[in-house]
Structure 1
Amino acid sequence: MNKQGTSRSHLTITAKALLLGAAMSSSVVGVSAAHAAGDKGDVTLAYVEWSSEVASTNVVKAVLEAQGYNVELKALSAAAMFQAVAFGDADGMVGAWLPTTHEDYMAKVGPKVEDLGVNLEGTKLGLVVPAYSKLESIEDITSHADEIDERIVGIEPGAGLTRLTEQVLEDYDLEDIDLTTGSGATMTAALSNAIKGERDIVVTGWTPHWMFARWDLKYLEDPKGVYGGAEEIHTLARKGLKEDMPEVYAILDNFAWTPADMGEVMLNNQEDDADPYETAKAWVESHPDIVNEWLPATAQ
């Protein structure tokens, strides 16, 4: 398995456009007319609609479609995402946050899936506030409850991050604080509105995420270690994929990138009228050296 760990400089959208013509001649995007029709077969990838997994899953889709596969993406809850791979309703996923965030889900399906290992290192979970906030630790929340409207703004009810935050409320005795759930989009909208008004707010957050590139933010210290330490994002495949579709299995197995790579795609997805798949294709076409490392030798 060829995993990468070196940092890479960001390319602007303009630079991507300039590189597009050269990249089109590479093995990554040199798709024949037959391959463009998806003649190699159908592949289903499951994902949860976090901005990070929207970015990574669409990048893998772009690579697989360039190799001649027809790829369907299934947006699911975190629990359903793991179950889809375990029961063969999806061929794979590239969004398993381990060992903490998705620990419960992995414990239930572990024997039924194949863990292909780490595709991204350097993740983090926790409670996030604007850098100007006086809060430094989760322990400060009680004394500043009025300033944050006695709430923490969270994401989806079934997310692992939500489960951990519910544990935070219990372990830190934050009985007067409400955890409001919604989605990643509603969380960042609330954060944006608070920052525009220079108000205090506490949200559930994770790295990598485009919000850290847009605003000056900080994590609250977690003395009790409820959110755990640094995590990794893993790729999972259904049992039998290696025998059924060895090239797809190899690409999933080789897929690895850095937080800077993912952050670039996520930030570009925040542009007006951005299409996550088109953004992913642009990134793939602009980074042939990286993407070629994910391809089996027979595909290059």
Structure 2
Amino acid sequence: MARGFLVLFLAVMVWVFPGQATAAAKAGKTLKIVYVDWDCAIASSNLAKAVLEERFGYRVELLPVSPEMMWSRVASGEADAMVAAWLPDTHAEMYAKVKNQVEMLGKLVGSARLGLAVPDYVTLRSIDELDVNADRFNGRIVGIDPGSGLMRLAGNALKDYEITQLQLVPGSGASMAVSLAEAIRKQEWIVVTAWSPHWMFNRWSMHYLDDPLGSLGKEESIFKAGRIDLKKDHPDAWAFLSKFCFEDASQLQRLMDWNQQKGSDPVQNARRFMKESPRLVDSWLKN
């Protein structure tokens, strides 16, 4: 009798208060996605958020963290997933520490790489030419987050090439881009820690310096990872994230470029991308 009354009560609630019932149905459907504050990670994380919220009814919290915390929070279960894992080189040490505590969910995009890059008006072609031209770069290589894999590999490159006249200056992805834009405006020589996909290569004529010693690694891919029980707790989110990928790096780079436009909103740009790429989005939602 009590059970029958409960069923009747819930049915009335759905009929009389449909909005509240929907909200109740979505209770507990919250996901936390961690990311590093890089332009590629901002774009892909916001796109994952938009799809999960619009197509699956989740509430998604995006949490910017350091690269180490991105891995550790997924491993500990404090976060549900990430879509910004660079492998096999950039995040190799971080992944090795937690590889038995996370589930890899496949590749987001390939043809990714790291390196030291310069504007095309800088006539150098190789890293081993940097030291003798240190004065033209004001004795610095403009870097990003000090804890990033890219900075670790760039530090290795300085040792491998015996570069002693230039200092690797830490900062952030945003501060590096500001320094690069200012140098290009003045046509000054500058060398930056760079990665692809990145909108800078769409906006300016630039090239990577050759790395004959392979200090900065070879071609990489960006992967997705989730906490161990994600499939059990949120099977629909797990299924989507397992399929979520770009056909090529240019699609991600286009979304990144939209995010650089003045006054743009990464979430709104993600929704725009969904509308303009229906076939791709549908491929993420198929059973």
TM above 0.5, yes or no, is: yes
Match in the other structure for 1:181: 170
Which residue of structure 2 lines up, in the alignment, with residue 274 of structure 1? 264
| Counterpart among 143, 146, 149 of residue 132 in structure 2 | 143
Match of 1:115 in 2: 104
Give the superposition deviation at 1:37. Answer: 8.9
Deviations 1:237-274 (A, max 9, x none): 10011111100000110011021110111000011111
Distance (whole Å) between structure 1 residues aligned to residue 286 and residue 80 of structure 2: 18
CA distance in 2, matches of 1:294, 1:84: 25
Matched, 1:230 2:213: no
- The amino acid across from 2:256 in the alignment is M
Aligned to 2:77, what secondary structure does the other structure show? coil
Instruction: Find the aligned partners of 2:275 and 2:234 in 1 and give their Cα distance.
Output: 24
Query: Given that residues 124 and 206 in structure 1 are in contact (C-alpha distance below 8 angstroms), is that contact kept between their aligned partners in structure 2?
Result: yes
Matching residue's letter, 2:72? Q
Report the equivalent of 1:292: 282
The residue matched to 2:262 in structure 1 has which SS? Answer: coil
Distance 1:238 1:111 in 2: 10
Any idea what SS the aligned residue of 1:145 has?
helix
Please report how far the alpha carbon of residue 114 of structure 1 lies from its aligned counterpart in structure 2 after TM superposition.
0.4
The answer to whether the aligner puts 1:69 opposite 2:64 as a matched pair is no
1:54 aligned residue (34, 42, 45): 42
In the alignment, residue 108 of structure 2 is paired with which amino acid? N
Structure 2: stretches of 5+ with no match in the other structure: 1-17
Instruction: State the distance in 2 between where 1:38 and 1:102 align.
Output: 35
Q: In the alignment, what sits opposite 1:21?
A: none
Superposed CA deviations along residues 188-222 of structure 1, whole A, max 9, x for unmatched, are 11111111111110000001000000000000000
> Is 1:192–2:219 an aligned residue pair?
no
- Partner of residue 146 from structure 2, selected from 157, 160, 163: 157
1:253 match: 242
Partner SS for 2:215: coil
Deviation at residue 152 of structure 1 after TM alignment: 0.2
Distance 1:38 1:49, change over 3 A: farther
Work out whether residues 79 and 105 of structure 1, in 8 Å CA contact, stay in contact via their aligned partners in 2.
yes
1:132, distance to aligned residue in structure 2 (A): 1.1
Specify which structure has the higher proportion of helix.
2
Alpha carbons 2:131, 2:164 under 8 Å: kept: no
Distance 2:163 2:33 in 1: 38
After alignment, is 226-235 or 282-291 more displaced? 282-291
Per-residue CA distance 1:62-112 (angstroms, 9 max, x = gap)? 000012000001100000000010000111000000000000100001010
Contact preservation (8 Å) 1:124, 1:230: yes
* Partner SS, residue 68 of structure 2: helix
Larger Rg: 2
> How many residues of Structure 1 are paired with residues of Structure 2 in the alignment?
266
- Are the equivalent residues in 2 in contact too, given 1:36–1:68 (CA < 8 A)? no
1:296 positional shift: 4.1
Secondary structure (helix, strand or coil) at the match of 1:111 reads coil
**RMSD (Å), alpha carbons:** 1.6
Change (3 A) 1:193 1:37: farther
Q: Identity across aligned pairs (percent)?
A: 42
Could you list the per-position Cα deviations for residues 137-176 of structure 1 after superposition, in whole angstroms to 9, with x for gaps in the alignment? 0000011100000110000000100000111111111122
Q: CA deviation at 1:292?
A: 1.2
Find the residue that maps to 1:273 and give its secondary structure.
Answer: coil
Inter-partner Cα distance in structure 1 for 2:166 and 2:131? 8
Instruction: Say whether 1:82 aligns with 2:80.
Output: no
Answer whether contact 1:54 1:276 (CA < 8 A) is retained.
yes
Q: Does 2:91 match 1:99? A: no
TM-score (structure 2 length as normaliser): 0.90
- How far apart in 1 are the matches of 2:25 and 2:120? 49
- Shift of residue 285, structure 1, vs aligned partner: 2.2
Aligned residue number for residue 5 of structure 2 = none
